[in-house]
Structure 1
Amino acid sequence: SHSDPYCQFLFDKPIVLIGIGRPWIKGENWGSTVTVLADSCVINGFKITGGGNLLQKEDSGILLKSASYNKVENNLLEDVLFGIYFFASNNNVVRHNTIIGRPYLGIGERGSGLHIWNSRGNLIEENFITKVRDGMYIQESSNNFIRRNYATDLRYGIHYMFSDSNSFEENVFIDNVVGGAVIY
């Protein structure tokens, strides 16, 4: 049993990381708490907190950067600027995660729960998202499957821009400013 938190992680080669008893990965006040640069990694069963405050630097609980065929499942992300950020990352599975942002920040200072940019073929399902700016922000992305996610107490349940051929099924948006904003 490890009661003290682990520090930030960077994955630059395939690795399977499965947490028993929800071990804690605590970010510093800069960068992303977990950064994945490799394909075929697994991150399952962790509490992930902290990280930086810079929206323009994609400071996230988990940052997938040009990373494909990864599985991110059963994690609790709390006090994060962005929850899980897909940066040009394809064919990943992101499932059964809870994402709680930073309620002490103004809504415009927060990141998205799931931020999907220039990414395709991802399966994003059964995530719970709250206290972020937008539940799911999708830009310049295609052929993603987004289903049974729950987003509450934020600005837009979904913010969708310059994207096509994505599939949305059974997502629930409750107690938000707007359910969704779709821009061609």
Structure 2
Amino acid sequence: MKYQNVLLLLVLTLLTLPISAKADKPSLQEMIDAADDGDTLIVSPGSYTENITITKPVTLIGEHKATIQSCKNAPVLTIKGEHVQLSNITIEQCNKNDEGSPAIYVTGRNHVLTNLIINTEQIGIQLNEANQIRIEKSTLTGNRKHNSIDLWASSNNVITSLQINNVLDGIYLEQSNSNEITNNFIQNARYGIHLMFSDYVLVEKNHSQHNFAGAMVMQAKETFIKDNEFSFNNQNVNSQGLLLYQTNNTIVTDNMFTSNRIGSFIEETSGAQFNNNTFESNTIGIQMKRAFNNRLSENIFNGNVNDAQAIESADNLIEHNYWDTSLKLDINGDSISEIPHAADPYFLTLIQWVPEYQLFFQHPGITLLKQVFNSPTETLLMDYHPSMNSGIINSHQKEDKQISLWFLGVFFTIFNLYFIQKWRRFS
């Protein structure tokens, strides 16, 4: 009996040890509060159900599968002050309140957020009066109701190398100037990139696809949109690859607009420059509405249902673009056609009057009607000096192709001469 009591006491002691150890383990917030400025804290693998606030310059680095989660109506992680760094951590925000808090709330300056996985029912990362923040190499997934990255009055930030899916707006800026948005992949959103009242923003090398609109720029100036791919943004009859609305001096260059409802829609905009872009396989390549003093030059229009349309627009310079539907005649060898090209949206105008005529797309009868009856003059975009060169085959490829064809021609010539000579001998 005595040994049984001792054994029972030993078992009870062992059972209580893990509980005591767990109780003694500090929370992440306690670790942060106890850290000194400049310290690096390692977040061990596992799930931490906490709402954390960081107000001092420390670094949090997560080990494999370190997850911080919360369903409270508060940010899972709040960052303030300066020089906070956060990396290699999964953030899960499960609060489904319609006006809930973001997964990560950031204010202050000079913070770095990298290699994060964020799954949220709310905004992914919200910057409020936050400057010189770098957000990079992260994955953000939402529920189509809230923005992924949301900036308010935040400037000189870099947002790069993100994978964004299933959100309201992929990257949303309001009253936020001089930001860089680069190398992001955004899909299944309302607007992939959405700029409101935000000037001097760089949008470069992003892929925005399968959204209501690839990018929307509204009431902004000096926006630079370069080397992006806007594709398959056709979820709605009003979908566009790029929408410019009431913007000034926007530069759009070296972009691909592919398989969108409208490649680019320019409305109440002036001073925009479209150079070296490719508009391919869109329902409408480019559309202008009440747009003045813009320039379209050296762009490629290839395989669109309608290349271009102008509505109440004037004084726009259209020159040196390649139109696959244009008549081409180069007399002096300068790669510029002597025949002006009128981008005539005849079929588009026709189906607006009679939608059923969509069944006759590319029918010979429609082509004949287009030649006999032109669209109203105000809907035409006239390129008086269209390019002969599509730019699809560069000069080196063209030379290689010509050399290959030359060798092939010589080979068949020799073969034919040999065959004729042989045939004559037998006959």
TM-score under structure 1 normalisation? 0.90
What residue in structure 1 maps to residue 165 of structure 2?
130
What corresponds to 2:302 in structure 1? none
Q: Offset at 1:55?
A: 6.1
Taking a change above 3 Å as real, the CA distance of residues 47 and 131 of structure 1, as seen in their structure-2 partners, is: same
Q: Does 1:13 align with 2:48?
A: no
The superposition leaves residues 102-146 of structure 1 with CA deviations (integer Å, 9 ceiling, x where unpaired) of 2xxxx4xx2111111100111110011111100011110111111
Moved more, 3-12 or 68-77: 3-12
Tell me how far 1:31 sits from its aligned partner. 1.2
Please name the residue that 1:112 is paired with. Answer: 147
1:141 alignment counterpart? 176
**How far 1:53 moved relative to its partner?**
4.3
% of aligned pairs identical? Answer: 24
Of 85, 108, 121, which residue of structure 1 is paired with 2:126?
Answer: 85
Kindly indicate whether the alpha-carbon contact (under 8 Å) linking 2:46 and 2:65 is maintained by their aligned counterparts in 1.
no
- Cα deviation digits, residues 33-65 of structure 1 (max 9, x gap): 1110121001100000015445656x1121102
* Residue of structure 1 in register with 2:76 after alignment: 33
Kept after mapping to 2: 8 A contact 1:8/1:28? no
For 2:134, the aligned partner's letter is: V
Q: Following TM superposition, by how much is the alpha carbon of 1:6 offset from its aligned partner in structure 2, in angstroms?
A: 3.8
Query: C-alpha separation between the residues in 2 aligned to 1:50 and 1:159?
Result: 23
How far off is 1:97 after superposition?
0.8
1: CA distance between counterparts of 2:205 and 2:163? 13
What CA distance in whole angstroms lies between the structure 2 residues aligned with 1:20 and 1:73?
Answer: 14
C-alpha distance in structure 2 between counterparts of 1:97 and 1:177, whole Å = 23
1:166 equivalent in alignment to 2:201: yes
Distance 1:177 1:93 in 2: 27
Higher RCO (CA < 8 A, seq sep 6+): 1
The aligned residue for residue 97 of structure 1 is 138
Query: Structure 1 residues 29 and 83 mapped into 2: Cα distance closer, same or farther (>3 Å)?
Result: same
State the AA in 1 paired with 2:138. Answer: N
Gaps of 5+ in 2: 1-43, 220-427
**Amino acid aligned to 1:63:** Y
Please show how residues 49-88 of structure 1 align to structure 2 within 5 Å: 49-50=92-93, 52-53=95-96, 59-65=101-107, 67-88=108-129
Q: Which runs of structure 1 show a deviation greater than 4 angstroms over 4 or more consecutive aligned residues? A: 53-57
Q: CA deviation at 1:19?
A: 0.5
Question: 1:39, 1:53 → 2: CA distance?
Answer: 30
What's the TM-score once normalised by structure 2's chain length?
A: 0.40
Q: 1:80, CA displacement in angstroms?
A: 3.7
Deviation, 1:5, is 2.6
Could you say which structure has the higher helix fraction?
2
Letter of the 1:161 counterpart = M
The structure whose residues are more often strand, as a share, is 1
Alpha-carbon distance in 1 for matches of 2:99, 2:178: 25
CA contact (8 A) 2:67 2:89 kept: yes
Q: Over aligned residues, Cα RMSD in angstroms? A: 1.5
Q: Distance in 2 between matches of 1:55 and 1:112?
A: 13
Preserved CA contact (<8 Å) 2:45 2:63: no
